[in-house]
Amino acid sequence: MNYREQYDYWLNNPYFDEETKVELKNIENDEKEIEERFYKELEFGTGGLRGIIGAGINRINRYVVGKATQGLANYLLKEVKDAKNKGVVIAYDCRHKSAEFAQTAALVLNANGIKAYLFESLRTTPELSFSVRELGCAGGIVVTASHNPPEYNGYKVYGEDGGQIVPAIAEKVIEEIQVIQDYADVKVMDKDQALDKGLLEIIGEEVDKKYIEKVKGLVVRKDVIDSMKELKIIYTPLHGTGNMPVRRVLGEIGFENVMVVKEQTEADANFSTVKSPNPEEHEAFTLALKLAEENGADLILGTDPDCDRVGVVVKNAEGKYQVLTGNQTGALLIDYLLSSMKEKDSIPENGAIVKTIVTSRMGEKIAKSFGVETLDTLTGFKFIGEKIKEFEENKDKTFLFGYEESYGYLAGTFVRDKDAVIASMLICEMAAYYKSKGMTLYDGLLSLYEKYGYYQEDLVSITLKGKAGIEKIQSILENLREHTPKNIAGKAVKVFRDYKSSKGIDFITGEEEEITLPKSNVLHFTFTDESWFCVRPSGTEPKVKIYFSVMGESLKDSKDQLETIKGAVMELIQ
């Protein structure tokens, strides 16, 4: 069916409820909106669905969620042994329709004979990952759109290992979803019936407690926390799920001076105090900065709505508050964790750090100085989770830390996704350690720059919405493939890697390389001085992302180099 036929089908089919039909009736004279909602199905992309809430096949709603869950149920029954009894655990965040979508998913699973463990109220994404493993489930679902704007929601799927499903599994789930041609073929059970049959189980505090205890077990230097318990910490959950677990962990390990941004503690699907609930955006810290300045805080933390990312603000050399990048926080954590392990002579011979290909190489350089290997994955924490699983199966490496530039970090292996609860705890402990030495985290960062080089990174995102936007994003990537630049802003490109073709070439030597990572629409350019930039479409938003990294002889030198390369690359792209 074309988009008009799909629209008429939804409008006239008695299967769809009256609320849906009223919404569709309201756009009957807006041909562009009808096309946008029905020209394609919402893609089951990087681990699941993410889209604007609304009626239509290219929107997220309970029918699309139900269809996706029916496909997932069919996959689990075919591919996972004893999936019915193992069940699936489901969590959700504070967004519009999250609780409804979570219950829809549970009742579809129940109708297929699969047990569902549904959290009683909103929970973090990392706790969902933990719960899959703790409860021995066949998989997990979390309803969240992470840091997207309020009009979005999403649906992420997790495997038995607690990690987001990787492409090979996602493809099988997609095949099962595509088999379903009629929404009426989606099975749904009545909630009371599901409870009576024991197919639906509501969970909460018991799992929370086990998760919190595991997090607290990752404390590195309890003596430092005890001596620096008055560290002044400002925390904002940005209206999301982090409020309970982050505050609980920090309090239980001994920090006594944690102040919360009151206006942002309540769950709010509209994220009414911020333009975007994203700790990568400096504006998100406006209220937290005001509170910090009033109280002379040492540190500010902000977590996104599903609490898998955390942003950090610290005092710089002039005593002013400065937002750290994800790369800077990652480098600090690697140095802190490895130096602490070295003091105890506990770095394993086969220890490994895992990062993504768009993450700074500064952390890799730090790890190397401790004799620790760093492995790269494609963008997406699911690939880091996959590496942990490989390490355990092959018994060849020991996972020490995983991180990505977009504010995602993980220590420990009881969670298989980025975890802002764990990261918040370790960042506060690290700040306490530096304070015990008479230093701030920013002082610590400067000391790392002096030792390892002045790395600077940046990210430019270009939003291109709708059908035309998708086509434009593809044309940008294809143009760079067809007209590969070999010199930009006076810097020679040494290595060009195309992760879609799995090919790399060294323009200096002429040598070619085979890329062993999964195919992905990503282009990576490395200059002769090891600076680099990378271009990729976002997997969750209508954006093309351009990443930049340089290393200079001073902060000014590296910042100047960064601006030069950024200007030249953006001129090329635009």
- Set 98, 129, 146, 424: catalytic member: 146
Q: How many CB atoms lie within 10 A of CB 99?
A: 17
If we measure between CA atoms, which residue out of 2, 59, 54 comes closest to residue 31?
Answer: 2
146 carries an active-site annotation: yes
Determine the Cα–Cα distance for residues 263 and 26; give it in Å rounded to an integer.
Answer: 35
If we measure between CA atoms, which residue out of 154, 44, 141 comes closest to residue 95?
Answer: 154
Determine the Cα–Cα distance for residues 214 and 106; give it in Å rounded to an integer.
Answer: 27
Q: At what angle do helices 62-79 and 167-179 cross, to 10 degrees?
A: 110
Q: How many CB atoms lie within 10 A of CB 45?
A: 16
What are the angstrom distances between the C-alpha of 213 and each of 219, 266, 414? 11, 24, 11
| Cβ proximity of 437 and 224 under 8 Å | no
Total number of residues shown for the chain: 574
| Cβ proximity of 535 and 476 under 8 Å | yes
Residue 60 DSSP one-character state: B
If we measure between CA atoms, which residue out of 558, 513, 502 comes closest to residue 531?
Answer: 558
Residue with tokens 């999936």: 83
CA angle 411, 416, 422 (to 5 degrees): 35
What are the angstrom distances between the C-alpha of 421 and each of 25, 237, 366? 44, 11, 24
What are the angstrom distances between the C-alpha of 405 and each of 309, 329, 456? 10, 9, 12
Determine the Cα–Cα distance for residues 213 and 127; give it in Å rounded to an integer.
Answer: 12
End-to-end CA distance of the chain: 36
198: left (phi over 0), alpha (psi -120 to 50) or beta: left
Determine the Cα–Cα distance for residues 184 and 192; give it in Å rounded to an integer.
Answer: 21
Which DSSP helix (H) or strand (E) runs through 546? strand 543-552
| Cβ proximity of 247 and 258 under 8 Å | yes
74: tokens are 């069919």
Task: Return all residues near 128 (Cβ < 8 A) that are at least 6 apart.
Answer: 89, 90, 91, 119, 140, 141, 142, 158
Catalytic residues: 146
